[in-house]
A = this chain, B = another copy of it.
Amino acid sequence: MSADFQPANPNYHQEVERILQAAPFARALGLQTVEVAPGYCETRLPVREDHQQQDGYVHAGVQCTLTDHTGGAAGATLIGEGQLVLTADFKISLLRPVLGKELNCRARVIKPGRSLIIVESDLFADQRWDRLLARASVTLAVVDKRLA
């Protein structure tokens, strides 16, 4: 399920693990890693009651967080040592009201770059891969850690 990309940093798993484990907001939300590969990341999120908006659906903010964070991890597989990614632009099309026991997110780099990385991040529920719930476009700025 990996894209055909060459990581710039052979130890890219370190930075991606850091993103996936060390981010307090993603951890508080309950995000779990499923798979990481060059240019690719898949995560899952067990849905809790406190993820809902006022009508019982999963809040758009949860969908944004999951697709953005997974997208950032996918992008971080391709950056150099001593660099990090920051989301510069984020756009999501929320295609259907979201219900389910578990959200699934698959993010794929569609354009690597030295200063900008473009990722597409898709949202599903309960592993129903034929039923796209939301599609996000994440534009990541690649920044030197010393300058961030």
Contact partner of A135 (CB less than 8 A), chosen from B65, B68, B95, B137, is: B137
Contact partner of A55 (CB less than 8 A), chosen from B120, B139, B141, B148, is: B148
Interface of A is mostly: mixed
Contact partner of A52 (CB less than 8 A), chosen from B24, B66, B139, is: B24
Q: Contact between A64 and B51 (Cβ–Cβ < 8 Å)?
A: no
- With both chains docked as a complex, state the minimum distance between the C-beta of A141 and any C-beta of chain B, in angstroms: 7
A81 CB within 8 Å of chain B: no
A117-136 CB contacts (< 8 Å) to partner B: 118, 120, 132, 135
Measured in the bound complex, the distance between the Cα atoms of B98 and A25 in whole Å is 14
Q: A61-B68, A135-B137 are in contact. Are A54 and B23 (CB under 8 A)?
A: yes
- With both chains docked as a complex, state the minimum distance between the C-beta of A89 and any C-beta of chain B, in angstroms: 5
Measured in the bound complex, the distance between the Cα atoms of B60 and A25 in whole Å is 10
> Chain B residues near A65 (CB, 8 Å)?
59-62, 64-65
Q: Contact between B87 and A90 (Cβ–Cβ < 8 Å)?
A: no
Q: Contact between B97 and A86 (Cβ–Cβ < 8 Å)?
A: yes
Q: Identify which of A49, A88, A115 gathers the most chain B CB atoms within 10 Å of its CB.
A: A88
Q: Contact between B115 and A95 (Cβ–Cβ < 8 Å)?
A: no
Closest CB pairs A-B (n = 4): A61-B65, A64-B64, A25-B59, A95-B111
- Give me 4 other A-B pairs in contact (C-beta within 8 A), A19-B53, A65-B65 excluded: A24-B51, A60-B72, A61-B68, A110-B132
